[in-house]
Chains A and B, each alone.
Chain A
Amino acid sequence: MSRSASKGLPWPPAPSAESPALLRTSKLVKVYRADGLTVEAVRGVDIELAIGEFVAIMGPSGSGKSTLLHVLGGLEPATSGEIWLRGQRVDGLSTAGWAILRRRHIGFVFQFFNLLSNMTVADNVELPALLAGATPRQARKRREELLAELGIADKAVAAPARLSGGEQQRVALARALANEPSLLLADEPTGNLDSSNTRDVLRLLRRAHAGGQAILLVTHDARVASLADRVINLFDGTVADDAKIVPIPRTVTGVGDVLELRG
């Protein structure tokens, strides 16, 4: 898996000392125009994500959070503003340029899993590595490691449709992590899961983050957001708040403060 596999793309260098951010945006704007109608979904967003940092994006529906994530992953082009990944400006990349960048540096997890239904679980997870130039042996080894780690090694030959929602999301996570991306992007990863499957995904995200994985995810689920180092709140396409999560000292207030045994 040499970097020359990405010939034609000026490869993003590692972040330098002067610019330690893994991801940075400046005055990022996304406007949709259709049938004479203009919607400003993202209106001048400046955010930054450090290497290994876990940031959650929250906000009311329609606040622009999913749009922002899609633009940051190159799934939709920005209207104006800058996106810097690993010290290189990437907002001007072509569709193909983005595809190559994603293959190597960005893992994506969606609310509805988006697995390839006509392929086995194993093939879904191996495909990104193969596309990035790994040998079949390397891809299989990585897939075996990931599925074992996520507790679904026994599902390797199954079709995704045979799996529960929670299992499918774990496969989607394995696929997103297959190429050890610099950045994991996730759009409502627990939005379609029941509470026990949500717990599993929370555990996996916590573990990935503990292993140094940088994560930027959109969620309305405060359980997911509470795992993050920092939470950005979007409102009406702009950043309304950006703050570290500070646990409340347990001696001061605990569960008892939220739920009181009465009587």
Chain B
Amino acid sequence: MRQPLLALLAKEPAHGYELKLALEQIFGQAYPSPNIGQIYVTLKRLEQDGLVRSEDVEQTTRPNKRVYELTPAGRQALRAWVEEPSEGPRIRDEFFSKLILAPMAGVADRMSLMNTQRRHYLGMMRNLTELQAETDPADTTARLLIEGAVLHLQADLDWLERCLEELV
């Protein structure tokens, strides 16, 4: 959550709720709506680290709102984040651990573990294809985010089939 907030603040100063709305608008419903509490907590930490600073802006009819802006250190942190290559996707090692260890422990057989996991993946894929069908094709960001999720899930399923071929 830190870096997306820095990136938004690099564009213009904003208060917490504006940041939440901006995230929702940019990523669409493909990404779970960010928790406002989490945004405030993250902003406070960023301020403690000297990456943003804030000031209260008086409002006549409402309580004051706190507007955040990026500091030079924040801009530098943002640039460093953007410039470093990102980590590759995580392997679903929890399932793999189960697959390897559970039969050894006599707790489950591999075929039923794989079937359970495949059903779960297919259920998730159903969600994604429904989301894809509901998403405005003109919303490129949301569309690509869903497509990324679809491709990752397809890779997980392909890997499951490979495990099936080799382990059962």
Contacts and interface: CB of A to CB of B under 8 A. Distances in A.
A37 interface: no
Given A222-B122, A259-B145, A247 B158 contact: no
B85 interface: no
A34 interface: no
A250 B27 CA distance: 16
B115 A233 contact: yes
Contact of B146 (A202, A220, A243, A255): A255
B86 A223 contact: no
Interface string A217-254: 00011110111000101010000110101111010011
A141 interface: no
B123 A254 contact: no
A58 B158 CA distance: 11
A255 B164 contact: no
B45 interface: no
A254 B81 contact: no
A195 B31 CA distance: 21
B124 A223 contact: no
Contacts of A262: 3, 86-87
Interface stretch (B9-17, B59-67, B149-157): B149-157
Interface string B1-40: 1111000000000000000000000010011100000000
Q: How large is the interface on A (under 10, 10 to 19, 20 to 34, 35 or more residues)?
A: 35 or more
| Central interface residue in B127, B157, B165, by most chain A CB within 10 Å | B127
B76 to A, nearest CB: 15
A138 to B, nearest CB: 33
B153 A222 contact: yes
Contact of A222 (B148, B157, B162): B157
A58 B160 CA distance: 12
Contacts of A243: 115, 119
Contact of A258 (B111, B115, B130, B153): B153
A206 interface: yes
B131 A255 contact: yes
A225 B119 contact: no
A256 B31 CA distance: 6
Given A262-B86, A263-B4, 7 more contacts: A58-B161, A222-B150, A223-B128, A226-B128, A262-B3, A263-B1, A263-B81
Interface of A: 58-60, 195, 199, 202-203, 206, 220-223, 225-227, 231, 233, 235, 240-241, 243, 245-248, 250, 253-259, 261-263
